[in-house]
Every structure is written in C-alpha cells, then in structure tokens.
Structure 1
Amino acid sequence: MGVHIDITGLRPERTAVVLSSLAELGMALHALSEPAHHPGLQAWVTGVTARLDPHLADRMCEADFLWRTTFSDLFLPCAGVPGRTTLPGATLAEELDLLDKLSDEQFVDAALEFTCALPYDVPGGGPLVDEGLRRRALELAAARGPSQVLFTERLLADPPRIRDWLRQFLRDCDEAFFAETWSRLRQQLTADARLKTDLLRHKGLGEALAAVSPAVTLDAAAARITVDKLGDGRSVTGDGGLLLIPTSLGWPHLMVLHRHNWQPVLHYPVGSPEPAAPPSVDQLSLRMTALSHPVRMRMCRNLARGAFTTSELAQVHGMTAPEISRHLGVLKKAGLITTRRRGRYVLHQLDVTVVARLGSDFLESILR
C-alpha cells in the first residue's frame, strides 16, 4: 500500500523545491469548501467567507468538485507540460499561463479526475476520445446534481471555454482574498523551501524527504520513493524531474501527483501539528483491528484502569491463560499495551496515550 515513485536515472539537479501560488490557491479553495478537514484554519475560513462577494461564492460552487475532495491536478499544470521538467511560474499569472500549455485531453482528464474515476496513473484515452468514458462521466455527474451535469457537458463540448472560465475565476479569487493570504504565507514557504534545498544539496535526497514528512521514505538501492498513503499508485521520473512543493494551508493532506506521463510532485504541508513519527497506515490498521475484537475490548477496559498479570486477566474474563496470552500478544504487537516486570510477575497495562491518538491518527491517515 502507498504511492511509489521510480527515480531511476533521476539527476540531482532535476529535483527542485519550489513554491506554487496556484497550488496554494487550490488548497485555499479546498479549505473554504471543506473546513472540517482543516480545523486550524477556522478563523481564516470564517473571515474570508464573511467578506466574500455572493456572486463569487456562487461561482465557487459551480465547479467545487475540482477542489472539494482535495484539489485537481489542474492546480499544478507545470507537471503536465511536455518534457516533465517545467517549474511553477514565479507569479500566479505565469502559472495560469501554463494551463494553456496543457492539451484539451490533459485538461479534461484532470478536471474530471474525481467525477469520472478515470485511470489515473496508467495510459489510456479520456472522455474526449472514448465514448464509453464520456457517457460514464455524464452518468456520475448526474448523481451529483444538475449544476455538475451542466459543467461537465460544457467541459466535454468546449474545453477552451471552461479553461477561460477557470482562469478568470482564479484571477477573481486572487483579487478577492488570495493575494493578501499569499503575501502572508510566502515568507514561511520560502524559508521552508530554502531549508529543504540546503538538505538536498548538502545531505542528499533521503534527508530532504525525511524532512518533508515521516510518511515519505527513500529506498536508494531500489531507486524508489514510497509515500505511505491509504491507496496505491505508481509513477516514474524517467528523463524528467521531481518537484517538492510546500503548502501552508494543506495540512493534513500530503499529496502526490502521479498522473501518467506527468512530472511527479510531492505537495507537502509545513508547520503542521502532526506528531514527529505518526504511525504508518499498516500500523494504524493493525491497531484498529486489534481493538475490534470484543474480548480485547473488554480486556482494554481492565488494562486502562491498572496493570494486570496474565493470570489475573484469565480469572477476570473466565478464560485460560494461553487464550489471554494470545490476545495480549495481538495488543502488544499493535503497540497498544506496555509491560513491566515486578519480581516474578509480568504486568500489562494499556498505553492510554496511544489509544487516545487513534482518532486523530485515523483522520490524518485517510486525509493524508
């Protein structure tokens, strides 16, 4: 499980840590559409929403499927430019110009990523050339309401028209609220990009990725980056590059652009409140599975209140010592209990701190 990026042959100079105002605008729109994903941004969301022009707010709803789930790859058009070495523009206007360098097929595929469930990291025709995918896109749009049907119909009929609509909408968002936000965030993101760049130059890619997130690891021998996510995906840098793009508004989302034939991008949060070493998806699954058994749930009730020996638990629960030992083994393997020796007795106790974190760990993992 996870997203893997094959970096065989990747030259050091082809890895860049850069800022993207367009990607951050995408995260801003996402946070405004799904504020529950970003409780730390509640004050910012409330402030922007309160002064948002009603007409712009209505337009924001017309295509919110581009950013409500997370945000569309359209907010990183540099990755789709042929050659796979293009960097984000220095300004939002320059990044919006990169949208024009995407083909109509690329634009439509990315715009319908969450609506049509197109094959993401494998080659294949999109709805502009595949009539079956076209029908499927319209069917799925219909399930989400008339506004999305209308948008999807317009997108499939006239991609340049929607491209122009999106550009103007994003410019209006910039004028209404984002330019002020970006001027405040840019300093923090610039400092982080400088730090990661120094790590790249002086300590290598592995150190830089470790600083990006504990969920990102490098297997230098296999020439592969693995991002621990609740999903599967693959990408290759090939003769292109690799981009690391920091976001201030994006926590807890650690996103990987791994679209087929696009430049891989790690879009990672900075200044996040995540623990130094969050559990992996596999560890989290192990813990939740361990707690799902009714016997182990009842045992945890005792272990949360004090330390017990195996024989004491066997007596309390009316089970044999070997049966209790097996359940304790599952809990211990999941890292949910601690043990200590007192004379000839071994005492077991629930690690309440770990259990208390499960809710936030689960939420972080599914939103990562």
Structure 2
Amino acid sequence: MSDLIVQRPEGLYCPPGNFYIDPWRPVPRAVITHAHSDHARHGNGHYLAAAPAEGVLRTRLGDIDLQLLRYGERVQHHGVTLSLHPAGHVLGSAQVRLEHRGQVWVASGDYKVAPDPTCAPFEPVRCDVFITESTFGLPIYRWCPDEELFADINAWWARNATHARASVLCCYSFGKAQRVLNGVDPSIGPIVVHGAVKPLNEAYLAAGVALPDTRLVTEVTDKADLRRCLVVCPPSAAASPWLRRFGDAQTAFASGWMQVRGNRRRGGYDRGFVLSDHADWPGLLDAIAATGAQRVIVTHGSSAAMVRHLQEHGLRAEAFQTEYGDDVVEADLQPPPEAAG
C-alpha cells in the first residue's frame, strides 16, 4: 500500500489527493496547518485551512483563494477524506487528517498540548501514521505552568515600573505576542505594541480572543507612560532605533529557547522567559502516544534524537527533510518603517 504523504521538492505531497500540506514552493492546491510564514507562504493557487485561521491568514497573505473548514468537518477530494483538527499551536492551527483506502494519516504541523486561552486546545487524533514536529524534542525542554510564568513576567514588569523603566518583552508577532498579552496583568501599566503586532492583535480580537487595550508608541501622549509600560515587539525591534524611544529600558525574550542557559546572554537580553507555542519533550511523547500510531515521521527540530528515541521504544520512526523552522517565522511579518509605530 502506497504512502498517503510523501516528500517532494515543493513540500509534503498527497499523491492520491494531488495536493500539498504546508508547501514551501508555490503549488496549485495547498492545505495549510497554520499561518506562520514557514508553513503558509505566498504564491499558491488555492488554500484550504481551518475556519479560525481566516483572519490571521488574510492579514499575512492578503487576498488569496481561501477555502475554510470547521474543525472536524470532512471533505472528499479525489477519494481522500480530509478533516482538520485543533493543534493548540496558535489561532487557527490545525492537524490534517487524511483517510484513503483504509489508511489514516495525520500531519500535525506545529502543536502544543499545554492549555492556551488564545487558541483551541490540542486534540489527539487516532491514526496509523503520525507526522510530528520535534522543535523541542530533547529531554531538557520541560515547560512550567503558565500561572508561574506569567506571575514571573508580571513581577518583572511591576518592578521595572517602580524604577521608571520600560519593560521590553521580545517575542514573535503572531501567536506568542497574543499569548503574552492575554496572560499579563494590564493593571500594572500601559501596554505598547510594535506595528508588526497590531494587525495580528486585530485578527485575534475579531476571532473573539480576549486581549487588553494596547497602543502604538506614536499614540502615547504622556511620555511618563513610556517609562513604565510593557512593550511587546518582535526580536528585530530590540536591535533597531525604534527601541530608543523607551529610554533606559529592561529587555527580555520570551521563547522556549530560553530554557538553555546562555541563549539569553548571547542575545544580549536582561531576562529570559521560557514560553513556547510548541510542545515540550513530555508533551511531544504524550501526543505521539495518544495517536496510537505505529509509524511516526518527524519533520523538523531535534529529529534525529526523536527518531532514535521512538525506535528504541518499538515504533517505526523516520524523518522527512523539510524547510520548516522558527528562523523564518518573523521574516515577512515586519512592517515597512513608516508602519512600525
């Protein structure tokens, strides 16, 4: 029996369905797991995605030919039954379930199993073959509960505010920024967002996600507010002249990579907060086990370590070579200079 998903130069391809999943080259038909730029790219003829992703996809890709599916809704295409299921990664993220001639495959894209009020929770989907990420696929990566993390972030912000210092928290504009905004305590002070964050906030708000009031720096009339605010911006902004408007600010980076000592120092940040939109090591293993799959394909991250671990535990495991990864997520989310706010 032939594989339902194979590797091609354009991306992951479903031969019987004649479509691609998160292709990295332009193709006629693309199924998109989520709107991060390494998974949703310009140039495809037709896009299929989960309904909650509409706002963020259109914010990122503009006027595209977009077909939307509710989570769990099934469609048939060339004999392949396709449905989308929550991945818990960011707003509208989905796992792609394919069924054809008795086989069930699930391509998960990126996913997170920890609770997150800004997107639908991860839903395990039973399958024969599971295609998984492994961004943090090493035993050192284990996340603490959000309550502890945000208590730490709020304490850092409040302490800085009492010393008349802005708290600049760098994180990805899409997904991470909204999760930060949803979790912090807005009573501590005003919140300023970078121009790359604002349109994505608007898409989240339109989807019914609760976010606090925010301002662009150009909308701040009282300069004293710039000395006690929380600033949410992409990492690139921390190295730009835009940051000078906040004076002697304290900087921090929110990322799962902050789990490793030395990453904060190499980035030149004052603080590092371990916050990820990906599953940690236990989360990855739990998610894989919950599918019941006997064959697992790893797409990106610590794939060699994950494949070896799964093989040692009796599963048929291998890796696909893909072009997914965090290094390109922010590349096309930066606004032109006049929009940076």
Instruction: Give the structure-2-normalised TM-score.
Output: 0.23
Task: Judging by fraction of residues, say which structure has more helix.
Answer: 1
Say which structure, 1 or 2, has more relative contact order (CA 8 Å, 6+ apart).
1
Task: Judging by fraction of residues, say which structure has more strand.
Answer: 2
Higher Cα radius of gyration = 1
